[in-house]
Amino acid sequence: MKLYIRKKLMNTAQRLEKTATLFRGAADRIAPEKRITLLDLERDSWRSVRPCFVLSTGRSGTLLLNKLLELSPDAYPVHEPVPELIRPSKRAYEEIDRHSEIFLEVLKGAREELLFRAARNDKIYIETNNRITFFAPVIPGAFPNAVYIHLVRHPGDFVRSGLRRNWYTESHPHDVGRIVPVRKDLLKKWAGFTQLEKIAWLWNETHHFIEAFKKTVDPSSVLFVKAEDLFRDTMTTRRIYKFVHISGYYEPTVKKILRRRFNAQRKGRAAPYREWDEKEKTALKNMALLAEKYDYSI
């Protein structure tokens, strides 16, 4: 009997959530658009918008975060924007210091229509796509009032996800956009790295890049979030809503979303990090040097 009642309650909750989503969509279509143009935003140097960009390695709960942000009537979250900038993000990592003006124009050309669409509907554009990370140094020049969420996940769990997806084997379609060392001394050693070491290096190097960027902007414009907190603590979502300046936080709905497993890896074999042998953990520790900074034990 209890199982029957629970099932009925879950079905009712799902219907209510679906109805709420439909109403939000209808409200967005009915609400009058702001009378602004792309040229207006350009003339104002985009100072009237406050977009948020999530900086991460990917495989860190970005899709879950996107789903949580979709609950807000004020948010315009995008997880896989078009273009996704897969190949250009690698070039940005390699060359953005030398050709910042080029990458700034690439960024604006790729995202201004999306930001305009959000602004026209009086919403805040939030990008959870990890490919935006290596464009971070030119974001302030393109969108001066942007804010950032630095999202990090335990390196062992991140590496396991990459192993299961066959990263750095030239069999994954996104390997074309996967960064490799630019330092000549490290590049010479690259071929001798194991797949685990390569993915661990990716974790560390990406966060090293983010940390360097964070030093160039106002600390109040960056929110640091651990994926593990996002996965299990509703207050983390509330903190994100407050930081981005969006309304609509409703704890029961947030709890329901947190119970789901969005974008969970179902293919590929790799032991959970806690089951790794000492040699594998040592290899991770030698590569993921920032783990200690983020209070992750290896």
Q: Is the pLDDT of residue 222 over 60?
A: yes
Query: Region 65-71: what's the mean pLDDT?
Result: 98
Q: Is the pLDDT of residue 275 over 50?
A: yes
Confidence label for 292 from pLDDT (cuts 50, 70 and 90) = very high
pLDDT at 1: 46
pLDDT at 263: 59
- For 148, the 3-state DSSP assignment is strand
* Phi (first) and psi of residue 98, to 5 degrees: -85, -30
pLDDT at 128: 98
pLDDT at 98: 97
Q: Is the pLDDT of residue 21 over 90?
A: no
Range of weakest confidence among 21-25, 63-67, 156-160: 21-25
Q: Is the pTM of this model over 0.85?
A: yes
- 23-51 residue pLDDT tens: 445 445 445 688 899 999 999 999 999 99
Confidence label for 10 from pLDDT (cuts 50, 70 and 90) = very low
Contact 206, 289 (CB under 8 A): no
Is the previous residue joined to 272 through a cis bond, with omega within 30 degrees of 0? Answer: no
- 168-219 residue pLDDT tens: 998 888 999 999 999 999 999 999 999 999 999 999 999 999 999 999 999 9
Query: Region 226-230: what's the mean pLDDT?
Result: 98
CB burial of 141-171 (b: ≥16 within 10 Å; e: otherwise) equals ebbeebbbbbbbbbbbbbbbbbbebebbeee
pLDDT at 16: 37
CA distances, 184 to each of 59, 122, 188, 289 (Å): 28, 47, 6, 20
Annotated domain spans of the chain: 34-291
Q: Is the pLDDT of residue 267 over 80?
A: no
Percent of the chain whose predicted confidence (pLDDT) is above 70: 87
Torsion angle of the four alpha carbons 115, 107, 167, 56, in this order, in degrees rounded to the nearest 10: -60
Percent of the chain whose predicted confidence (pLDDT) is above 90: 83
Contact 238, 227 (CB under 8 A): no
The pLDDT mean for the chain works out to 90
In the CATH scheme, what architecture does the domain 34-291 have? Answer: 3-Layer(aba) Sandwich (3.40)
Distance CA 124, CA 106 (A): 21
Q: Is the pLDDT of residue 19 over 80?
A: no
Confidence label for 5 from pLDDT (cuts 50, 70 and 90) = very low
pLDDT at 12: 39
